[in-house]
Every structure is written in C-alpha cells, then in structure tokens.
Structure 1
Amino acid sequence: MLIAADGSAFTRAAARFVVRQARELKSEPEVHVMHVHAPLPYAMAASVVGKKTVDDYHRAESLKALKVAEKELEKAGLQYTSSWSTGDAAERIARYAADKDIDVIVTGSHGHGALARLALGSVATKLIAISRVPVLIVPKR
C-alpha cells in the first residue's frame, strides 16, 4: 500500500484507513508513504536564495507532510518506508507505485466538487487517470 501524503487532515484519514485495513490482513502489509512537493520556480528561487536553501526547503516541507501519516502508522506499530520527491505529484506517485509493485495507492479526498475540480485541477483525479495501480480515495471523517 502506498499512502500519497500532502500533510493535511486528509492524509491522516488515509493513514488511519491503511491501519484499519492492515488489522484485517493475515500478514503485515508493506506500507509506503510518499510526498511530492510542487517545485518552486527553481532557477529564479535558486538564483535569489541559493540551490541548497531551495533543496532544504523542499526536504523540510516534505518531511513535515510525511510525518502526519508516519505518526498514525507508528501508533499502530506498522513498519513503513517513506520517500519524497519534487515534481508533478500524480506522475511521481504513479511512477513510484509502478516501480515498487504497489498493490494500491491510498490518498485523501479534499472534497472538491466537480466545478472545483474543473477550476483547480486535482492530483487525485489525474492519479486515477494515469496510474496503472488502483487508487483508493478516502474521505476525511
């Protein structure tokens, strides 16, 4: 299972769902947690503050986002592998899932309606469209 994490309450809901599902299985599932940070306008940002500062920012923000899911998994005693990347979230998550032979991607729903999806776009919607791995959208409760 791969939890696609953005660090929000929706990530917490997805992680809790994975914990509940893991309790139903006979053996402990292999759990991955991934966060993809949208890239800053890199050349401009790096020229102003430096490449290391931009890289440190991506790392710090990604670790913060991952921690939301990691806390839930740790409370349940589940082992996991975490990773982060920068780029197009849906593309990176789909590629990671395919490369790691993930059975299902679990992500939270931000509750956007059809009009909001049209106006804003949606990582979850794109992920469903491009992933070769099933995607499970968990609502926040």
Structure 2
Amino acid sequence: MKILLAVDGSSYSKKMLAYLTTHETFLNAGNAYTVFTAQPPLPPRARAAVGKDIVKAYYSDECEKVLAPVTKFLLRHSIDAKSAFEVGSAGESIAKFAEKGDFDLVIMGSHGHSAIGNLVMGSVATQVLAHCKVPVLLVR
C-alpha cells in the first residue's frame, strides 16, 4: 500500500504518528511511505525583495524542520520513507500530491474543531476531504 503521511510539525501530527505505532496495519515495512508537508507562500513583495535563491532556501529549511523529525521517527520503527514538500495552500497541496502520486491512502492528524469552529477558522482536513479523491484517515 502506498501511504502519504501529511504532517505540519504540530502536536496533531505527533498524535497521528503515535496512532500509527499502535496499528501494525498502517506502520509496517510492507507499505511504501511518503512524508509530505506544505509551506504557505511568502507574500510576493517579500519574495521579490530577497531574491529567488533566498526564498528557495527558506522554503527548504522550513520544510526540513517539519520533515526531519518525522523521518527520524519512522527510521526508528524501521520505515525508510521518502519526503516531499510543496509551496501553497496545505489542503489543496496535499490533495493534489496524493492524486498525482497515485497514493492508496492519506493519513493526517486533525485538530478536531467542531463544525462551527471549522466554519470560523477553516480546516486543512476539511480542504483535503473536499479536494482529495484518495481515501483519507484523520486521526484526532
């Protein structure tokens, strides 16, 4: 099974990883894993002011801060995962990456807001569910 682990460095991503360790179906060497994160784009004026190379380095550094601990965690559980990131809206980026990569499942943590909370604040999980044609497992 090809599994996409969508992470953002939050405690909800950590809870999702903890959930995986208690469910051997999801965390085993027979599956192929990709750890993915999305970085919000910098404002156009900021990108223009600092230059393309600095912006690219910034995105790489910020994403590595999120991806490295997850990759290290998975290696401790004998899982050698690929990692990837994109710049853009998190929900849409996750959904597009999952479909392009032909994944069988997306697993991600969720803040667990109420329906009213989602209306007021929005939710990456809601965006992924709305845009993704791949099955999604949300871990609260």
- Normalising by structure 1, report the TM-score: 0.87
Gap regions ≥5 residues in structure 2? none
1:88-131 Cα deviation digits (max 9, x unpaired): 21222112111222111011011322222111111100101111
Q: Distance in 2 between matches of 1:47 and 1:104?
A: 37
Instruction: Establish whether residue 138 from structure 1 lines up as the match of residue 139 from structure 2.
Output: yes
Contact 1:90–1:124 (Cα < 8 Å) also in 2: yes
1:68-83 mapped onto 2 (5 Å cutoff): 68-83=69-84
Q: Distance in 1 between matches of 2:71 and 2:29?
A: 20
Tell me the equivalent position of 2:46: 45
Q: Which runs of 4+ in 1 moved over 4 A?
A: none
1:29-77 Cα deviation digits (max 9, x unpaired): 0111100101111x20122222222221111111111123212211101
Q: Secondary structure at the match of 1:111?
A: coil
Q: Distance in 2 between matches of 1:68 and 1:10?
A: 14
Gap regions ≥5 residues in structure 1? none
Q: Secondary structure at the match of 1:31?
A: strand
Give the aligned CA root-mean-square deviation in angstroms. Answer: 1.8
Instruction: Establish whether residue 110 from structure 1 lines up as the match of residue 111 from structure 2.
Output: yes
Contact 1:94–1:127 (Cα < 8 Å) also in 2: yes
Query: How far 1:132 sits from its partner (Å)?
Result: 0.4
Q: Would you say how many aligned residue pairs link Structure 1 and Structure 2?
A: 137
Letter matched to residue 68 of structure 2: K
Query: How far 1:27 sits from its partner (Å)?
Result: 5.7
Tell me the equivalent position of 1:5: 7
- Normalising by structure 2, report the TM-score: 0.88
